[in-house]
Amino acid sequence: MTAYLIRNVSVVGGAPTDLLIRDGVVAETGAGLTAPDATVLDATGLVALPGLVDLHTHLREPGREDAETVESGSRAAALGGYTAVCAMANTSPVADTAGVVEQVWRLGREAGLVDVQPVGAVTVGLAGERLAELGAMADSAARVRIFSDDGHCVADPKLMRRALEYVKAFDGVVAQHAEEPRLTEGAQMHEGEVSTRLGLTGWPAVAEEAIIARDVLLAEHVGSRLHICHVSTAGSVEVLRHAKARGVKVTAEVTPHHLLLTDEKATTYDPVYKVNPPLRTAADVAALRAALAEGVIDIVATDHAPHAVEDKECEWAYARPGMLGLETALSIALDVLGPQWDLIAERMSRAPARIAGLDSHGLDPAPGVPANLTLVDPAARRIVEPAELASRSRNTPYARMTLPGRIVATFLRGEPTVLDGKAVR
Ligand code: DOR
Ligand code: ZN
């Protein structure tokens, strides 16, 4: 195993130092290290972060390998600075059995570019009718701890209660896609001024807020851990603030796109901007940014949702919702938060690792710590070129935008997965 001596790097924004990586761990830190056998990387001007952890990634395998595979998604993740991703269960077949989650986990190990932690479905086939075999998935080789019907809401309160009760036994968490389905029937975009102007059926904020309010009460009642996926409205932030003040064990995520883009994008009728939950108003964006800084929202999660060209480049009404995220998330976070490295490390690595129970991730580079880390060039700017993305899909909303920051290298257990901004394989 090659040793790496990373020279002159700022660890999470601190004063420049050297990092020696050997045998999968950070062996030493400090100025002026020597290691004759190590490959030297000059990291002057670069920032080292704990490898990013994505709690919300759609990898599409099994079933839609034309849109993404575990391998292509893993490569996109590594290029985005990630060392672990949680793979959502809405594959085909659905990841609702030990067999399917083990298959995804094994494919992740074979690709070897990031740790792929499968998420298990809450209900059989995501149908919202019967609980899936949560215990069998938890006991499987994949050691599932996060359960989610993402893409669908667990709308039945009794099922949601039972899922919350069940996962308590192994300190699991239910990640809810908060969308009251009766309130979003036929919805095409955020319900508001713009939807009225365009004559498109709206997805009202209250459809999200009502489910979050219900579920924080359920989580409090049964004393379980609840996670809210892709929070998108100012009202949801207020519900979460209230729940957290009461001591409810709830965590929440926001996506890069909900931190940057608004429902005005729908006026282009370009389906690349169609996503679920939909892009909201500028006031929502402001509230989400403030909540992320404050900690009412715990993490940034990508909701990386690759879609094949025929599912995306069609009329708005027929296009699938979702956008790519893994290869641009750090740049968007840098754009939105500025160079607040400790905050970025917390929201994109440490906190998601804690929520997912990924003990070897989310740790700042320090002697003895597993060498899962990423090196960022904050001064670089890049133009997003869809054809150059590692993802099999092209549905990025940032095409040809100039974004700050570039991932220079990523290490997984001491082995580079990205060097010089390129995937090693
Ligand atoms: O936009 C979305 N796309 N939202 C979801 O909840 C699911 C996801 C997907 O699977 O494409
Ligand atoms: Zn979702």
Q: Structure tokens of 404?
A: 């700050």
The overall average pLDDT reported for the chain is 98
Tell me the pairing of strands 52-57 and 146-147.
unpaired
Q: Whose CA is nearest to atom 5 of ligand 1?
A: 151
CB of 150 sitting under 6 A from ligand 1: yes
CATH architecture of the region 50-356: Alpha-Beta Barrel (3.20)
Residue 252 pLDDT: 99
Has residue 1 got a pLDDT over 90?
no
> 286 pLDDT band (50/70/90 cuts)?
very high
**Index of the ligand 1 atom closest to the CA of residue 305:** 11
CB of 151 sitting under 6 A from ligand 1: yes
Q: Which residues make up the CATH 3.20.20.140 domain(s) of the chain?
A: 50-356
Q: 3-state DSSP call for residue 27?
A: strand
CA–CA gap between residue 200 and residue 399 (Å, rounded): 25
Q: Structure tokens of 202?
A: 């709206």
Alpha helices, DSSP H, located in 268-417: 282-294, 309-312, 329-337, 341-345, 351-356
Q: Which residue, chain included where needed, has tokens 């519900």?
A: 239
Find the ligand nearest to 55 CA: 2
Listing DSSP states for 81-106 in one string gives TEEEEEEPS-SSS-S-SHHHHHHHHH
CB of 305 sitting under 6 A from ligand 1: yes
Helix axes 205-222, 234-245, angle to 10 degrees: 10
Has residue 168 got a pLDDT over 90?
yes
22 C-alpha to ligand 2 centroid (Å): 39
For a substitution probing ligand 1, which of 56, 66, 150, 326 has the most ligand atoms within 8 Å of its CB?
150
Residue 149 pLDDT: 99
For a substitution probing ligand 1, which of 188, 254, 303 has the most ligand atoms within 8 Å of its CB?
303
Alpha helices, DSSP H, located in 24-97: 70-79
> 155 pLDDT band (50/70/90 cuts)?
very high
Type of residue found at 419: L
Has residue 255 got a pLDDT over 90?
yes
3-class secondary structure per residue, 390-421: CCCCCCCCCCCCEEEEEEEEEEECCEEEEECC
Dihedral angle over CA of 137, 250, 60, 392, nearest 10: -140
Tens of pLDDT, residues 69-96: 999 999 999 999 999 999 999 999 999 9
CB of 322 sitting under 6 A from ligand 1: yes
Catalytic machinery residues: 303
Residue 415 pLDDT: 98
196 CB neighbour count, 10 Å cutoff: 10
Tens of pLDDT, residues 307-345: 999 999 999 999 999 999 999 999 999 999 999 999 999
Phi-psi region of 397 (alpha: psi -120 to 50; beta: other; left: phi over 0): alpha
CA–CA gap between residue 121 and residue 174 (Å, rounded): 9
Q: Which residues make up the CATH 2.30.40.10 domain(s) of the chain?
A: 4-47+367-423
Residue 73 pLDDT: 99
> 416 pLDDT band (50/70/90 cuts)?
very high
Residue 77 pLDDT: 99
Has residue 161 got a pLDDT over 90?
yes
Domain 4-47+367-423 has CATH 3.40.50.11540: no
Find the ligand nearest to 227 CA: 2
CB of 177 sitting under 6 A from ligand 1: yes
**Index of the ligand 1 atom closest to the CA of residue 323:** 1
Q: 3-state DSSP call for residue 182?
A: helix
CB of 312 sitting under 6 A from ligand 1: no
